[in-house]
Structure 1
């Protein structure tokens, strides 16, 4: 890496780490350009030399809290005996973490980041490559995808290739599962429901199980969430 690139990367990290510290201490909703500048020891104008808008800064800082999820989801998926079980386990892990950290997951997956948010995700992993250590190559392709629909479809296409689902059912399974999660997630994010994360995960996983089972699944035993041994304590 050239000297200029090293300097840019160092400055970039100063602001991201300062933002992450504010998020940890005060919450995402209390992040401001002035607070980040003060904590990093620079003026507010300097930040805009590295980030075009505050949503990008919040996104990158929120990604600093995602490593425990990305490490865990790889372990979850490995426990699945077939593509459908892997799909359900991936959703279970996602639900557990997103319902525990709704502000973080909103910033990463839902918040408006303008054009080409995948480029921001790719840039983050270029700056913090250690976040991808021990992540299987096939899972990295999914983690580089911010779009929820594309992430879910990637796993379902594996199930299609192995004959577990019909092609005409992929879109309905994918869209319905995302809508179920978004509904519960939005209620939690907006303080309309006060579910514990385990309860919220159970509700969503029960619905997702029914969606999958009603979509002409072949050679698959019904997912029993209550017997799952992979839930996070």
Structure 2
């Protein structure tokens, strides 16, 4: 690594670690450029030499809290006997962690980050490569994808190859699972429901499981065509 890259990486870590401390102590909503600068020991203007907007800083800091999820994900999917079980277990793990830490997962998967958010994920793992240690190769492609539908679809393709669902239903199932999660997640994030995170995860997984397990009973493409007429 060149001297300039080392210096930049060091500065990024100062600001990301400072932001992570604020999130841990006060919550995501309390993060401001001034607070980050004060905690890191620099002035606010210096931050903008490394981060174009505060949402990127929050995103990078939130990635530091994703390690428990990524570690859990591998263990969850090991319990699956086939690709369909692995798909449902991956969602179970995601629901558990996202409902337990909604502010973090909002910053990671929903907050507007501008163009090319996947580049931010690549940049993060360049700075913190140790976060990828012990992550199975088959899961790394998921971790580098921020788009929820694409994450879901990549696992569903293995489910289709084993004959559990029809190829023409992959996109519909992927979209529906994300919409089910997003509906509950939005309600929890905005305090519209009084479920604790375990109850919210259980209810969401019931809906997802029912929809996926009965996917071949319904002809999604046919139903969509009828609705569009």
The question of a shared fold, defined as TM-score above 0.5 by the shorter chain, is answered with: yes
TM norm structure 2: 0.93
* 1:151-194 Cα distance to aligned partner (Å, 9 max, x none): 00000001111211101111121111111100110011111112
**Structure 1 unmatched ranges of 5 or more:** 218-233
The aligned residue for residue 128 of structure 2 is: 128
Matched with 1:21 is 21
**Structure-1 residue corresponding to 2:155:** 155
Counterpart mapping for 1:20-169 below 5 A: 20-169=20-169
Following the alignment from structure 2 to structure 1, what is the Cα–Cα distance between the partners of residues 125 and 171? 29
Question: Bigger shift: 35-44 or 169-178?
Answer: 169-178
Partner of 1:225: none
Distance across 2 between alignment mates of 1:6 and 1:144: 23
Which string of whole-angstrom CA distances, capped at 9 and with x for unpartnered residues, describes residues 42-79 of structure 1?
Answer: 00000000000000000000000000100110110111
Mapped to 2, the partners of 1:215 and 1:4 lie a distance apart of 53
RMSD: 0.8
Q: TM-score, normalised by structure 1?
A: 0.92
CA distance in 2, matches of 1:22, 1:194: 27
Greater CA drift, 50-59 or 159-168: 159-168
- Once the two structures are TM-superposed, the CA of residue 138 in structure 1 deviates from its matched residue by 1.2
Q: Provide the aligned length of Structure 1 versus Structure 2.
A: 217
